[in-house]
A = this chain, B = another copy of it.
């Protein structure tokens, strides 16, 4: 295992418009991205990692001047890690509409000269995949060794195999789903209502008012956070533990540790995340549904896929339950695709895909070792 050097973010500017599924175009945009490892001479060892709701292009390593800002999937990706950057060249692109540097709602709309705000066009998983493909084009990468993502990132990985079936050998779809359930959409909708009904949302143009809809964004994040954790892990970590020795009998003061934790998570999130981005990304989740154009038949929808697949789910994930991953597996098998499926017995709910679980990481490590062997053959 070699020592990783510090990483740095890069950007690409695109002057040619990006046509979006909504019919709108992104006229002119910049994408932030990071790479780790070295692209080999035949440009065959590239792995694209797709990020989920609240993550960025900073997927692994640390910046030279920010030693504590560790990439969000650093436990999985790096030298000697399951996705070994000594062997693979890893790329992660911050999606347009996000709030981590790529063109998004807080940037200036060239059509109006003021921040996009809620005028930023609705972007879909398919649009993000198109944007990522343009980055790969510029990098001269015709075919990926693999595309990988968890949760919403897994949806992007799946969509890659349908939009650009020739451009990857493998797809790793982790803790994901072929679409959102009614309950998933319901949670997203409540979160959005909390944001847009906050008076400081100002119809999505709060930047001009020097405020942010912090209250709404905090509540939105608290709702989301509950769905990321399993009932069991919340019970194990917090249970009914009180913050003080005695009850204070108050409706507004914190009594239980779980309240303290959730408020902290909500507050922290509301200080760095953009409210318009939250709306856009939850909507992209809602819309994703490759079977929509196939009368709901996922097997028909996935018939275009050519990649080999690793699908991973976690037993206690109730946001994207194993049942949803098995729908993907079945649809791939219906098409006689090469698919490996691992259902990991893990207590942490949806968040498990971000955690360092030995069985989970073992499966991913073995899968990438096979890809490496295939490339060497």
Contacts and interface: CB of A to CB of B under 8 A. Distances in A.
A279 B256 contact: no
A286 interface: yes
Interface in A185-229: 185-187, 189-190, 192-194, 196-199, 215, 218-219, 222-223, 226, 229
Q: Which 3 pairs between the two chains have the least Cβ-Cβ distance?
A: A22-B249, A251-B279, A197-B215
A255 interface: yes
Given A218-B197, A226-B190, A183 B122 contact: no
18 contacts: A21-B249, A22-B247, A122-B251, A179-B240, A182-B237, A182-B256, A183-B229, A185-B256, A185-B259, A186-B222, A189-B222, A190-B219, A190-B226, A194-B194, A197-B219, A223-B223, A247-B287, A255-B286
Interface residues of A, number: 58
B279 A182 contact: no
Nearest to A282: B251
A358 to B, nearest CB: 26
A181 interface: yes
A18 interface: no
A23 B247 CA distance: 11
B234 A186 contact: yes
Contact of A286 (B256, B262, B289): B256
A4 B274 CA distance: 57
B239 A196 contact: no
Nearest to A21: B249
A231 interface: yes
Contacts of A121: 249
Contacts of A21: 249
A219 B194 contact: yes
A322 interface: no
A76 B123 CA distance: 49
A219 B216 CA distance: 10
Contacts of A24: 249
Contacts of A266: 193
Chain B CB within 10 Å, residue with most, of A118, A193, A279: A193
Given A193-B263, A222-B190, A182 B252 contact: no
A124 B58 CA distance: 48
A213 to B, nearest CB: 10
A258 B185 contact: yes
Contacts of A279: 251-252
Given A197-B219, A231-B181, A287-B247, A252 B192 contact: yes
A118 B317 CA distance: 38
B223 A190 contact: yes
A183 to B, nearest CB: 5
A271 interface: no
Contact of A182 (B193, B235, B247, B276): B235
Nearest to A237: B182
Nearest to A200: B199
Interface in A102-131: 118, 121-122
Contacts of A234: 181-183, 186
Nearest to A230: B183
A210 to B, nearest CB: 17
